[in-house]
Amino acid sequence: MAAAEVLALIEQAAAEGWTELDLSGKRLTEIPKAIFQLKKIKKLSLFANQIKTIPEEIAKLENLTYLSLSGNKIKEIPSIIAKLHNLEKLYLYSNEIQEIPESISSLSNLEVFNFSRNQIKKIPIKIFELSKLKVIRFSQNPISFPYNIPIELTHSSNSRIFNYLREIYLKDHRPLHEAKMLLVGQGSVGKTSLIERLINDHYDQNQPQTDGLSVKDWQIHVNSKDIRLNVWDFGGQEIYHATHQFFLTKRSLYILVCNCRTSEEENRIEYWLKLIQTFGDASPVIIVGNKKDEQPLDINRKALREKYPNICAIGETSCQTGEGIKELSNAIHQEVGKLKEVYDLLPLPWFEVKEQLEAMTNDFISYNRYINICCQNNISEEQNQDQLIDLLHRLGLVLNFREHPLLQQTNVLKPEWATEGIYALLSDETLKTDSKGIFSCDDLTRILDPERYPTERHQYLIELMKEFKLCFALDCNPPQFLIPGILPKDEPEETDLDGDTLEFQYHYRVLPDSVISRFIVMTHEKIHENIWWRSGVMLEYKEGSETCNIARIKADPEDNKIFITINGKPETRRTFLGILRDVFKKLHQAPANLEITEWVPVPKHPKHPPLDYQELLGLEAMGEDKVTIGKLKLKLDLRQLLDGYESIQQRQKAQNEAARIDKQYNFYGDVKDPDFIGGSKMTGDQPNVSINADNIGIASMSGGKIESGAIVAGQYNEASNDLEDLLQLLTVMKEAVQFFPQEQQEDITIDIDDIEAEVKKPKDKRRIPKIKKCLTALATAGTVAIAALSATNTATVQLTEFVDNASTLANKFNIELAIPAPTQNQTLPPAP
């Protein structure tokens, strides 16, 4: 639009007394001075221009409640902007701003402030005094905050992080001064005796073996501070390994205990180190060889240190003589002192609530009782109450499932109540041998302490086990339940499959025992003739009443592999395989460090090493039509081989979508939700956090589909679907409906309303297929609408954010959302 046309528009606005003016995408290099005469203007949009400065005359627009200057080239915010006392929403997204002036804290009516994608290094501390500021976005800035952010909050929305920082600033606070130490290793290596020596300097030659899990407190003095060390002692028997993995977490110190009398292989040292890397990320590890009075520890220390750099010490002890205990204690003190999480800050009222919950004599309280405790400690805002209970849940200090239809009745409980009840079932010999993993309500009455686990709480414990995917209900009356983790190891005779088969393999760096047991739970509705064992299951695929295919899914824990074999109707085999691969994809999303590859066998050569499936897809994408296997002097038809696993249309669609996304949908380098932080880096010895712009974001596009970034939310919950954030995203999407063609607006609004209705339901009642259908329609409509626009303008920007938000919602629900390509070769601008 020519300058004369812009000026004419401004003159018209002045003459007619407009309260809103949109000059987005007009290629303006400066804000026209005539705008500053619009005394009645309340909403001013200047998206996607080339404006470099905000003149001081901006202060003349005293009635402004909404100002957007996103997508420009602004380097500085003038202090005089503080004169806009009525301003409620300020958008400065995607500029070159390096500093936020202190005067911004004078905008007492500010409710929304978005300054993502700039070069801002710090936030003025007085901004925390803006009591009405509820929505803030600051991702993709190299910001160093004045306080350390707990790792459990780094994947929360920007607004939640800001709220935590504001609470720290406005209220008295104190360091957490707690850490978690986990002892792992094989059974009978002396973990419990080691704890007794460390804490009480006591040794019992007849110390019983730990069944399940034991948690003890150890008060230590580190860096002149009293630290509470929560010591978790894991029973080493194999029967518990699948369940232990729910409690192997980050922000922990690991003690890997092995027996000096046995070999490195018998101690399974590398198995445990890989497991710690998978679930504990870079948590420090101390390897302890126990029973050194009988034999020295004989392991390749140098090789292990090179392979696993998180090993910080290797030592030897004797619980019987006390030798090496002092050295181990010193090493523990030293490593605990290095854990930055120990110094996380909590507002004093939050800390007081935490201590009251930990001190409560009851194993559980109602959520209303929790709210009363918060109010008694001056935590009256619902947002703070929710945020505190979520933080304590992720820290593992309490359990809270307020969105679960059955678990919500008893909302806050001690983790020990759950863990001790679950491990009591896992330890019961009758369930393991006679019942072969199947239990009834009568078994709960027989096994559990009636005072601590009254009959009316039994269903609650069962629901917890279902939530953790530890068991599932059998189709029978009276009710019975199966725990795959304590099934017999022996594979039944009737697992052989006749005729031609389709085979697929997963190879793991380390195969956690929980993968196959959780898979059995997640696919229990397809189990064929109740054929199951601890490391495998038989499943069936039906169309109507006809059984088309039988599948054997079998884990090999020693080789770290899972094998899928399917027989039956050839035309439905790959459909069934696709269903099974979707289940494994969900399982593989957490933990983040689970390294998996996919493999397929060489046809008619079952003893030959299998072929890397992704390598085959890559060859096809490069235009190859043959794959050569030199040892067999064989050339395979590549398309024919791949057609057995996925149709050519599916493969081409994935390839085309990946290429289009790379070229046309590169919103942020990859698709990222600007309202979330991922990959935050804790820096410095003092409480401080640096958010690196290169590491922001929780989702990425892979193979043309949106895949969830793996969010490890803590030991008791797999992912966070925060209701507040979900509804906020839907609200933003509703605001963008006006930019669609009028004939589409009603249908789009209906789809958003349908999603909102599902979001408000308890998690297990949400219809994910319905949400997926609506999100696909919305993403498609947004993409088509963008392609129809001939120039970058407000609508383009708003619709781009609309598609991005649809992607973010899909990400939160672990939905694969295929986004179609636009019909024009245009680069999409950043969202405002």
pLDDT tens digits, one per residue of 488-529? 999 999 999 999 999 999 999 989 888 999 999 999 999 999
CATH 1.10.10.2200 domain extents, the chain: 415-485
* Whether the predicted pLDDT of 226 surpasses 60: yes
Was domain 415-485 assigned CATH 1.10.3210.10?
Answer: no
CATH 3.80.10.10 domain extents, the chain: 3-138
In 339-381, where does DSSP find H-type helix?
348-359, 367-376
Nearest to 97 by CA among 79, 81, 77: 77
List the structure tokens of 465: 């086990």
Residues 356, 361: Cα–Cα separation, whole Å: 10
| Of residues 556 and 739, more confidently modeled | 556
pLDDT tens digits, one per residue of 588-622? 876 667 889 999 999 999 999 999 999 999 999 89
Residues 820, 657: Cα–Cα separation, whole Å: 7
- Give the number of residues written for the chain: 832
Q: For residue 416, what pLDDT is reported?
A: 83
Domain 493-652's class? alpha beta
Was domain 3-138 assigned CATH 3.90.1150.10?
Answer: no
List the structure tokens of 357: 């919950």
DSSP label at 602? B
CATH number of the domain located at residue range(s) 178-342 in this protein:
3.40.50.300
Q: Note whether 317 and 194 are within 8 A (CB).
A: yes
Which helix H or strand E contains 764, and what residues bound it? Answer: none
Q: For residue 239, what pLDDT is reported?
A: 65
Q: Note whether 113 and 650 are within 8 A (CB).
A: no
Q: For residue 693, what pLDDT is reported?
A: 27
pLDDT tens digits, one per residue of 398-452? 888 766 666 655 567 888 888 889 889 988 999 999 999 999 999 999 999 999 9
Was domain 344-413 assigned CATH 3.40.50.300?
Answer: no
**How far, CA to CA in Å, does 581 sit from each of 147, 265, 506, 561, 597?**
43, 32, 10, 14, 12
Q: Note whether 116 and 139 are within 8 A (CB).
A: yes
| Of residues 697 and 350, more confidently modeled | 350
**How far, CA to CA in Å, does 784 sit from each of 465, 652, 736?**
45, 21, 15
CATH 3.40.50.300 domain extents, the chain: 178-342
CATH 3.30.310.200 domain extents, the chain: 493-652
Strand partners, 612: 599
Q: Note whether 217 and 228 are within 8 A (CB).
A: yes
Residues 733, 647: Cα–Cα separation, whole Å: 35
The answer to whether the peptide bond before residue 512 is cis (omega within 30 degrees of 0) is no
Cβ count within 10 A of residue 381: 12
Residues 62, 41: Cα–Cα separation, whole Å: 9
* Whether the predicted pLDDT of 695 surpasses 80: no
User: For all residues of the chain together, what is the average pLDDT?
Assistant: 83
Q: For residue 390, what pLDDT is reported?
A: 80
pTM for this entry: 0.71
3-state secondary structure of 228: strand
